[in-house]
Every structure is written in C-alpha cells, then in structure tokens.
Amino acid sequence: MDDTDDIHYRQGTFIVQVNNVLCYFSALNSPTKCRLFRSYCTSFYSCELWRLSDIGVQDFCMAWRKSIHKIWKLPHRSHCYMLPLLCRCLPVFDEICTRSFNFIYRCLSHDSNLIRFISEYCIKYGNRSSCIRSNIMFCMQRIIVMQKKSTLN
C-alpha cells in the first residue's frame, strides 16, 4: 500500500504542465500566468486516494511551491507562507486534505449500501493499512496541533 510511485508520477505530470504554461505564456504577466496555472495545472487526479502521511505528498507540495516561485519570479529563499495568497487559493496540502475528506464524505453518504458499509468498516475497524482511516487520523492530529498552536498565540 505505497502511494509514492503514483504521487511521483503525478508530480512529474504536474511539472510538465507548469513548464508548458511557463514556456508558452512567457510573455504574459505573472497574475495572468497564475490564473492559467490554476486552470491547467491543478487537477491533481487521484490525490483523494493518497495516504496523506506519505513522504511523496510533501515532495509534491514542494514542487507546487517551486512552481509558484517561478510563476511570480520570486527568489528561491522567499517565504512560502504567502504563496497561496498570491495565487488566491488554498495551500496545496490543504487542498489535497480537503479533497480526501470530500471523497470520504461522499463514500459515507453514498446511495450504495455496499460502499457505505465498506467505508464505515474501514473507519471503525481498519488498521493502519486502511487509507481512509489513516487519512482521517492524520487530519484529526493535524487539526489538534493547529488548534494548540492558535491557543498558544
């Protein structure tokens, strides 16, 4: 149950899409290239099924941040926290988490009894090999850490 190969394949596809936007639209200004980037490079097919704790997800997020740096012609050492604001979008990791949660929600509320049963079983009784349970636990831990940080500030 390793997602690294799929994540790296999608990362390579993503990088090709970004390079195409940068190459074919190099004469355009950065805000326009950013809109094209959001339209053509953010499909992230199958990311709903990735295990969020996989190291490949962090590699994918790094490729996303590097792409934003190139689009806006920012120095490599510029701060990454402002990049989503420049693009008017969620940070890519939050986008992947949101898509994963939406997928799980759709499975739990599906018309098919079989799909609902399997989803509920994975959450209630699944061990670490269950991607659904793993992603829910990962996001819950992340939310708890973020809440603790916000109460400390």
pLDDT category at 1 given cuts 50, 70, 90 is low
The CA distance from 121 to 101, in Å, is 16
Share of the chain above pLDDT 90, in %: 73
Task: Give Cα separations from 16 to 9, 57, 68, 70, 120 (angstroms).
Answer: 11, 17, 14, 13, 38
The CA distance from 58 to 90, in Å, is 15
Q: Which residue reads 């670490």 in tokens?
A: 128
Of 82, 1, 105, 87, residue with least CA distance to 41: 87
CA pseudo-torsion sign 113, 137, 58, 71 = positive
The pLDDT of residue 147: 84
Which one-letter DSSP state was computed for residue 32? H
Hey, what are 129's tokens? 């090999």
Q: How far is CA 88 from the centre of its chain?
A: 15
The residue that leads in pLDDT, 127 or 143, is 143
Share of the chain above pLDDT 70, in %: 98
pLDDT in tens, 10-41: 999 999 999 999 999 999 999 999 999 999 99
Q: Read off the amino acid at residue 19.
A: N
With a CB cutoff of 8 Å and minimum separation 6, the contacts of 4 are 54, 55, 56
pLDDT in tens, 69-112: 999 999 988 888 889 998 999 999 999 999 999 999 999 999 99
What is the rounded average pLDDT of the residues 55-60?
Answer: 96
The CA distance from 55 to 44, in Å, is 16
Hey, what are 13's tokens? 């596809």
Which one-letter DSSP state was computed for residue 149? H
Domain limits, the chain? 4-152
The pLDDT of residue 146: 83
